[in-house]
Chain A
Amino acid sequence: MDLHITGGEPTEDERAAIDALLGVPESGWEGAARDIARDGRTAAGGHSVAGQRHRLLPALHAVQDRVGWVSRGAMNYICRRLSVPPAEAWGVLTFYHLLARAPRPTAVAHVCDDIACRLRGAEALCQELETRLGPPLAGGSPAATPDMNGAGVSGAVEAAPALRRAGAPAPAAMAWQRSPCLGQCDAGSAALITRAGAMPERFVLAPAADASAIVEALAGSTPAPPRPTVRWTGTPRLLSRVGKVDPASLDGYREQGGYRALARALELGPERVIAEVTASKLLGRGGAAFPTGRKWDAVRRQPATPHYVVCNADESEPGTFKDRVLMEQDPFAVVEAMTICGLATGAAQGFIYIRGEYPLAEARVGSAIAEAREAGLLGADVMGSGQAFDIEVRRGGGAYICGEETALFNSIEGRRGEPRSKPPFPAEVGVFGKPTVANNVETLVNVLAIVLEGGESWARLGTPASTGTRLFCLSGHVERPGLYEVPFGATLRDLIDLAGGVPGGRGVKAVLLGGAAGSFVGPGHLDLPLTFEDARAAGATLGSGVIMVYDETADIADSLHRIAEFFHHESCGQCVPCRVGTQRQLELLPTLAAPSASSAAAAASVFGELSVAMKDASICGLGQTASGAIESALNLGLIERPVKGGE
């Protein structure tokens, strides 16, 4: 490709960060100092260079981590190294809200102001932070395109006087921004802290008790490791090791039954493994409830090679934190399950795509992979089987849409996370255009028990159509928010009781099932058995296992507004019904509770038609579900007061 690159060279730091990832450039074509004698008769090109594009997002992350933002010089240098046109790299850079493209303080707190945290005071926390640190950066919102010189970046921060007195970092060394759900909804409040530098730090503060705790974390304190609340009924299958095993120890994992499933899978061979998974009737836990066995079988049969395994750990559905807990507390289980999947489906390479807001999960899964490789459980000869399988961790950049599997493939490939049109389905045309199994973390971890117990026996728990157990993420107004594993068929009431019921003995006004992409159900549905089939019959969905409880005092209108903002923020912008529809939805929302009944009815009719078109004509599940929660709230009569105006 004949790149045309103008303006800007990388700084020393930027170059070092990029070279640390990509190696030192070999010729002037790749951005080394020009040397006509060396470079004059050669050119960088062909497949070896074109094949590097998938390193674009990791390279952007490297600069972001080192410097705190991505300059034109840094981006240009990455473009030279990877032979990516700058306009396309810019398209990628501007897609992810964790990447900044204007200078900003090196320490930034991304503070959750999403639905579950709002129920527990997120807005007050944000107000408090605003007093301490000034207005939030606009970076959390991709709508803000600061100008090239960075002058347009809002909220460049003056440290509060109190802070300066305390001898904390100089003014403007820290800033904060609002963030969509950080997947810490059981904590009640959360902040992702990113500190750029030669030793970059990224960690999560959950709970983020108050503004002082956030400011201290920004200034350098590190948080205590998380202690998740996990509970179950009966014998847990997915959570059996959580909290009991040292997530950093392969030996510990093996002592608790780890890697027996892989050994068994090697005995069984790929066909039998797939037969067991099929017999288990395991349905995908990522939201779409597709039969896992069928997916694996389809990939195994594809003549095109190579095959890939992609573990979807992008978990960004507001209210969801189950995959995080599994990855943080039992990372080897995820690695082992992916390995079984790879060997069964004929894939030698797997990717686990972990959302950028999960630094601990990324670190723990990353070191589990390294340990497993060291022990011969990954690599050229997995467990002495003569078969190869390895896993690479990819970090998301802050984009809910990248959880949609085809958007995720594009993201891995170094493209904008725009979903592709299906068909063709991933089993045929997946990442790098090759047959790909894409599975959710929880789905994969289920496979361990299936392989050990046998599919039919495994399927005895749950109901005939929804087999096994399910992880439910309880948040909002319950005594013990946390992760709960129960067999399918437990009722909503069972789960709420398990979580200690509603604080203060208050009544339930509504429950948001399935997250922002799900829907509200009223107290009349508390005896709904939580199965795929019962949820569907009730016009709801289990989605990613979110159960967010709103007590009788809760402000649903406030949540609806945040949900509308969420979809507006997260739409990839590719198709008209969703790109403009999510904007209009946000604008229409306040009018749905208009003072005059007739104007409210008129707004409801426009909203109703819009909602149908978004469901019917959007490319992907984001646009198709973006109006569902609001629609369900309207149907349940939950909108009692005007929803506050959009921005």
Chain B
Amino acid sequence: MSATIDGRPIEARAGATILDACRDAGLDVPTLCYLETLTPVNACRVCVVEVEGARVLAPACSRRIEPGMVVRTRSPRVDLSRKLVLELLGSSVDLSTAPTLEPLMREYGADPGRFGPAPATVRQSPKVDNDLYMRDYSKCVLCYKCVEACGTDAQHTFAIAAAGRGFDAHISTEFDVVLPESACVYCGNCIAVCPTGALMAKHEYDLREAGAWKPEVQTATDTTCPYCGVGCTLTVHVQDRRIVKVTSPLESEVTRGNLCVKGRFGFEYVNKTG
């Protein structure tokens, strides 16, 4: 199907989103709540684009492209909305461990400081309630990715969900119980998709707290999980000859970035023998 993006004629497959079409055409559209492996929730609105004839902007990540659609991925309208979305996030959420947002802030000239001296934030104390991972919702942009990963997009455990409403909306277990009391099975698939570091392995959190987290010296090596016969691909992150984190590549056809508690957290024995 033919459409026009930024003045360029493009051909898109049926069912493609505007984002798909842009990426195929080599055009960049920023995203925050979108991830290839998850169902789009189109909640963050960082990816909005202008569709000719439409009253409002459209989320590129989920709006399907239509024949003859004329799309602008950059325009004063688009840039203004993106800037405001970044400012609203920057003024309410601690983005200190969200590396992808920093360059966007610069690109769009976002100034989160302009909402006055004391804008309300989602600041709160971190929830450290188990040995495997912690949750710092001061850093949560409410992208719903963790909820999707814990739910029907991957894990089907449904330990966490959005609760509350409006500015008070937040991710929570039922009655805000601690994770060990919840349905959580510590697969860590929510950590893997969290774009802001709100969810973090306890190990990484402790190293960061101690000032000993050094990404610049870390190496990442792909290997196969030693535990069971599925044989998931593990990416082992090593710092100073010790494993500090385990992830799995999003591109892996077997895992699509997901692991179980053993693959993701069961590496201490290696460090002990090393």
- Please report A residues at the B interface, Cβ cutoff 8 Å: 1, 3-4, 6-7, 72, 75, 85-91, 94-95, 97, 101, 142-143, 145, 148, 399, 416, 418, 421, 423, 568-577, 579-584, 587-588, 591, 606, 609-610, 612-613, 615-619, 624
- Please report B residues at the A interface, Cβ cutoff 8 Å: 41-46, 48, 56-57, 59, 62-64, 77, 80-81, 83-85, 88-89, 91-92, 114-116, 119-120, 141-142, 156-169, 172-177, 181-183
Complex formed: what's the CA distance from A519 to B58 in Å? 25
With contact pairs A577-B81, A577-B84 given, residues A87 and B116 touching in the complex (Cβ less than 8 Å) = no
Closest Cβ of chain A to B250, distance in Å, is: 23
* Contact B172 A95, beta carbon cutoff 8 Å: no
In the complex, besides A87-B161, A583-B167, A584-B91, 6 extra interface pairs with C-beta distance below 8 angstroms are: A86-B173, A90-B163, A91-B172, A583-B92, A587-B116, A616-B48
Complex formed: what's the CA distance from A579 to B91 in Å? 13
* Contact A576 B44, beta carbon cutoff 8 Å: yes
Contacts of A6 in B (CB 8 A): 177, 181-182
Instruction: Please tell me which one of the listed residues A4, A569, A579, A617 contacts residue B81 in the complex, with CB atoms under 8 A apart.
Output: A617
Residue in A closest to B166 when the chains form the complex, CB atoms: A571
With contact pairs A143-B168, A576-B45 given, residues A72 and B174 touching in the complex (Cβ less than 8 Å) = yes
* Contact B84 A94, beta carbon cutoff 8 Å: no
Complex formed: what's the CA distance from A617 to B91 in Å? 18
Complex formed: what's the CA distance from A183 to B143 in Å? 34
With contact pairs A89-B174, A616-B48 given, residues A142 and B166 touching in the complex (Cβ less than 8 Å) = yes
Contacts of B81 in A (CB 8 A): 577, 612-613, 616-617
Complex formed: what's the CA distance from A91 to B88 in Å? 24
Contacts of A1 in B (CB 8 A): 156, 158
* Contact B88 A85, beta carbon cutoff 8 Å: no
* Contact B115 A587, beta carbon cutoff 8 Å: yes
* Contact A573 B56, beta carbon cutoff 8 Å: no
Contacts of B45 in A (CB 8 A): 575-577, 617-619
* Contact A421 B42, beta carbon cutoff 8 Å: yes
* Contact A619 B77, beta carbon cutoff 8 Å: no
Contacts of B166 in A (CB 8 A): 142-143, 568-573, 579, 582-583
Contacts of A575 in B (CB 8 A): 42-45
Complex formed: what's the CA distance from A1 to B152 in Å? 11
Contacts of B157 in A (CB 8 A): 4
Instruction: Please tell me which one of the listed residues A87, A416, A580, A616 contacts residue B91 in the complex, with CB atoms under 8 A apart.
Output: A580
Instruction: Please tell me which one of the listed residues B42, B77, B160, B168 contacts residue A573 in the complex, with CB atoms under 8 A apart.
Output: B168
Complex formed: what's the CA distance from A6 to B183 in Å? 8
* Contact B141 A88, beta carbon cutoff 8 Å: no
* Contact A571 B91, beta carbon cutoff 8 Å: no
Contacts of B165 in A (CB 8 A): 94-95, 97, 142, 399, 569-573
Contacts of A86 in B (CB 8 A): 173-175, 183
Complex formed: what's the CA distance from A4 to B159 in Å? 8
Contacts of A421 in B (CB 8 A): 42, 59, 62-63
Contacts of B168 in A (CB 8 A): 142-143, 145, 573
Complex formed: what's the CA distance from A569 to B167 in Å? 8
Contacts of B164 in A (CB 8 A): 94-95, 142-143, 145, 573
* Contact A87 B173, beta carbon cutoff 8 Å: yes
Residue in B closest to A583 when the chains form the complex, CB atoms: B167
Which of B64, B83, B116 has the largest number of chain A CB atoms within 10 A?
Answer: B116
Contacts of A143 in B (CB 8 A): 164, 166-168
* Contact B84 A613, beta carbon cutoff 8 Å: yes
9 sample A-B contacts, Cβ–Cβ < 8 Å, listed by A number = A1-B156, A145-B168, A416-B162, A573-B165, A573-B167, A575-B44, A583-B166, A609-B83, A619-B42
With contact pairs A142-B164, A577-B45, A577-B85 given, residues A613 and B174 touching in the complex (Cβ less than 8 Å) = no
Instruction: Please tell me which one of the listed residues B77, B89, B161, B173 contacts residue A580 in the complex, with CB atoms under 8 A apart.
Output: B89
Residue in A closest to B48 when the chains form the complex, CB atoms: A617
* Contact B163 A148, beta carbon cutoff 8 Å: no
Complex formed: what's the CA distance from A591 to B41 in Å? 34
Complex formed: what's the CA distance from A584 to B141 in Å? 16
Contacts of B63 in A (CB 8 A): 421, 423
Contacts of A584 in B (CB 8 A): 88, 91, 115, 119
* Contact A612 B116, beta carbon cutoff 8 Å: no
Contacts of A616 in B (CB 8 A): 48, 56-57, 77, 80-81
* Contact B167 A94, beta carbon cutoff 8 Å: no
Closest Cβ of chain B to A570, distance in Å, is: 7
Instruction: Please tell me which one of the listed residues B43, B56, B85 contacts residue A615 in the complex, with CB atoms under 8 A apart.
Output: B56
Closest Cβ of chain B to A220, distance in Å, is: 32
* Contact A581 B116, beta carbon cutoff 8 Å: no
